[in-house]
Amino acid sequence: MKTKLSMAMAILLVQLVMGQEMDPNKMADYQNTIMIEQLDLSDSQKEQVKAINLKYSKKQAALLNKEGSMFSKMGDMKKIKKAKNEELEEVLSKEQMEIFENEIEPEMRKQMKRQRGS
């Protein structure tokens, strides 16, 4: 499963690094796949998580596709992440949220750093 997570995030992050416009539907699809596989979501949770991922992927894509440096966008990205996590806390169990925050999100950050060459 970690390989699938890494591959999905690598593809998504390559688009980001290469400056291509981000497709919020693709972003949400990747997040949905990873979360469904890693968090053992119920049918109800799957639908709610899909809606949340799409909502925030649209916000992230709009921000990323705007002119400006990544540095100038970091504050807004953090606000989007915080709001998304607050909504996810309403849907996911405490255990699922811990896995999301402690395993899934850090892996996304690692992939981004690798793609940037840091």
- DSSP letters of 59-101? HHHHHHTSSS-HHHHHHHHHHHHHHHHHHHHHHS-HHHHHHII
pTM: 0.76
Distance CA 96, CA 26 (A): 23
Q: How many other β-carbons are positioned within 10 Å of the β-carbon of residue 35? A: 24
Distance CA 5, CA 65 (A): 24
Full pLDDT tens readout for the chain, 118 residues = 555 555 555 555 554 544 556 788 988 888 898 899 899 999 999 999 999 999 999 998 888 888 888 788 889 989 999 999 999 999 999 999 999 999 988 886 776 566 555 4
Cβ–Cβ < 8 Å for 1, 38: yes
